[in-house]
Amino acid sequence: MFRCGRPGQEGTVTQKHAREGWLQGPTIDCVPPTNGDASPRPWRMVLLGAPGVGKGTQAELLAGRTGACHLSTGDVFRAAKLLPACERTPALNAALEASKAGHLASDAVVLELVAERMGCLRCRGGFLLDGFPRTVVQAEALEELLVGEALAIDVVLSYELPLGTIVARLGGRRTCADCKMVYHTQTKPSRLADRCDSCGGALVQRDDDRPEAVTVRMAEYQTSTAPLCDFYRRRGLLVTMSAEGTPDEIYQRTVEALKTRDSAAEPSSTP
């Protein structure tokens, strides 16, 4: 039975997974959740969503409240640049080199990174994959990896917004040139005009947040993601979710969708 809620409510899982094995490398052991912290129904989820839909916020809410471990490939790359303890495997080095050159890591490299961290996918609290898979090739390979471990994806959540809303969201984003703190002209303005509240640095608009750049990014996202959505739709795993509203409203919408899937998966009591 699906169990979830807001922080402080009965049944809510609030453990924050440290994710050492995911972030630092394949020979590092994560501390698994205790029996009391593990969800009674571990969920194995994939999250999809274009930049600007709030997918990252939903990932944090779902991970914090269901007990699923948030496994973001973007976090792996960021950790590699910041944490000296990260294991520099050939796959990680190749991914970082691609990033330096302004390219996405190849399917083969990303798959090797995930395969190295297979122990994280066995987490008894479940997992939430964010940023992977990005292509049908990656989705097929992930499926094979999980079959080998007698595991399977339970649901693929695709968060969607109209293009105009995404352009408005990203177009209002401002980033501190010094500390990289992110603000928004409408939803999270700084107290000082054009200056960071934290360090006083100048707030700038990134080139890829300008309306014309956002439109191009969305077209590229749709081209790459449409086949992936079709792949999971054919397997009966895809659930599309409106990303309109507050983060908590979107989260509650997600909870209802998971409850519906959980109920449908339970064996019928009718002979």
Residue tagged active-site, from 19, 134, 169, 174: 134
Q: Is 217 a catalytic residue?
A: yes
Q: Is 173 a catalytic residue?
A: yes
Amino acid at 169: R
Cα 52 from chain centroid (whole Å): 13
Structure tokens at 220: 């590229």
Number of other CB atoms surrounding residue 259 within 10 Å:
14
Number of other CB atoms surrounding residue 79 within 10 Å:
19
Q: Is 55 a catalytic residue?
A: yes
Look at residue 255 and give its three-state secondary structure.
Answer: helix
CA proximity to 163, closest of 241, 230, 225, 219:
219
Residue tagged active-site, from 55, 65, 117, 174: 55
Residues 79 and 86 sit within 8 Å (Cβ to Cβ)? yes
Residue tagged active-site, from 16, 188, 206, 235: 206
Q: How many residues does the chain have?
A: 271
Q: Is 206 a catalytic residue?
A: yes
| Sequence-ordered list of residues with C-beta below 8 angstroms from that of 202, at least 6 positions apart, any chain | 176, 177, 178, 194, 195, 196
Residue tagged active-site, from 19, 117, 173, 174: 173
Active site residues: 55, 134, 173, 206, 217
